[in-house]
Amino acid sequence: YCGDELDGKILGLIGLGRIGSLVAKKAAYGFDMRVIAYDPYVSSDAYDGPAQLVAMLEELLAISDFVSLHVDLNDETRHILDARALNKVKPTCRIINTSRGAAI
């Protein structure tokens, strides 16, 4: 396996709390990635980071080259990436789960 070039790729973040926000900055400024994020608890008026907020998880899944999960495990996030959601990602998409295993 040969690694993937990150420059210019799209990173989709699910969860934009403390850790997700730090990942957004590192990816955008450190690796020159385009960062998009889905977090229903963050408003675009209050957010001033490098990520572009999207309103629908499906939109993030469809265009991301990498998807990284940064969510607490609760009833809303349990299986947030279920089979239906995983069918929406690109075949070459890489998924990084830094949350609990049950988020997928």
How many structural domains compose the chain?
1
The answer to whether residue 79 sits within a structural domain is: yes
Tens of pLDDT, residue by residue over 19-38, are 999 999 999 999 999 999 99
Is the distance from CB of 46 to CB of 100 less than 8 angstroms?
no
**Binning pLDDT at 50, 70 and 90, where does residue 11 land?**
very high
| CATH, residue 33 | 3.40.50.720
40-59, pLDDT tens digit by residue? 999 988 899 999 999 999 99
User: Does a structural domain hold residue 97?
Assistant: yes
Amino acid identity, position 59:
E
The one-character DSSP state at 29 is I
Question: What is the domain range of residue 82?
Answer: 10-103
Per-residue model confidence (pLDDT) at position 1: 65
Give a yes or no: residue 47 inside a domain: yes
pTM of the entire predicted model: 0.91
Within a domain: 58: yes
Q: What are the φ and ψ backbone dihedral angles of 67, each rounded to 5 degrees?
A: -125, 130
The four Cα atoms 54, 90, 7, 32 give a dihedral, to 10 degrees, of 10
